[in-house]
């Protein structure tokens, strides 16, 4: 076929060249970004082999759905978001899948249900030893406890007073 594709064979890896001007000034054999390669003893690049499934959240979701008294309406759950960070004094991986919040343990591997939310794109952030969830429908938090789960954050209106003494009264 007539195609403008040409194969470039790199005989020796020359290293990373993170050029602030962009990728236009790199030599053949240099990379601007290291992705999915390892370097052999002979300085050749070798693609890292494939991927490995550590935990299937769909299987965990199916187990959870089977344990519910009323079957969830969702027949095709999808991944909504994930977060990794410190909560409750330990490092955790939190995943939102099919409206269920999982505390993922890669050592097991296993996942524990720590709450439910609306199935939508979900963002997480950590603050003050807790992890918070925002998805456009709920604002929830979890303290990382073994017996606790995500709970709705109670909103409040901060009160600011001026010209009062340290006890909070006066004019």
Q: Where are the beta strands (DSSP E) in 35-148?
A: 37-39, 45-47, 79-87, 90-97, 100-105, 110-116, 123-127, 130-134, 139-142
What is the reported pLDDT for 143? 94
In whole angstroms, what is the distance from residue 66 CA to residue 153 CA?
29
In whole angstroms, what is the distance from residue 36 CA to residue 65 CA?
36
What is the reported pLDDT for 21? 66
Residue 117, classified by CB atoms within 10 Å of its CB into exposed (0-12), middle (13-18) or buried (19+), is buried
pTM above 0.75, yes or no: no
* Residue 82: C-alpha distances to residues 74, 107, 131 (Å): 20, 17, 11
Which residue has 């919040």 as its token pair? 101
For the chain (171 residues), the mean pLDDT of every run of 10, in chain order, is 69 75 72 75 77 86 88 77 91 93 91 93 92 94 93 84 74 59
């Amino acid at each position: 076929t007539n195609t403008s594709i040409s194969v470039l064979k790199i005989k020796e890896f020359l290293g990373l060249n993170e050029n602030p001007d962009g990728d236009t000034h790199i030599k053949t054999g240099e990379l601007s970004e290291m992705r999915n390669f390892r370097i052999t003893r002979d300085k050749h690049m070798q693609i890292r082999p494939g991927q490995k499934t550590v935990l299937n959240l769909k299987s965990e979701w199916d187990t959870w759905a089977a344990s519910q008294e009323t079957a969830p309406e969702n027949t095709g759950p999808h991944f909504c978001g994930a977060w990794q960070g410190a909560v409750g004094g330990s490092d955790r991986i939190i995943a939102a899948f099919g409206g269920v919040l999982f505390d993922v343990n890669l050592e097991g591997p296993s996942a524990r249900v720590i709450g439910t939310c609306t199935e939508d794109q979900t963002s997480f952030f950590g603050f003050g030893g807790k992890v918070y969830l925002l998805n456009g429908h709920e604002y929830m938090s979890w303290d990382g406890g073994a017996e606790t789960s995500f709970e709705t954050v109670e909103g409040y209106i901060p009160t600011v007073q001026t010209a009062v003494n340290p006890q909070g009264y006066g004019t």
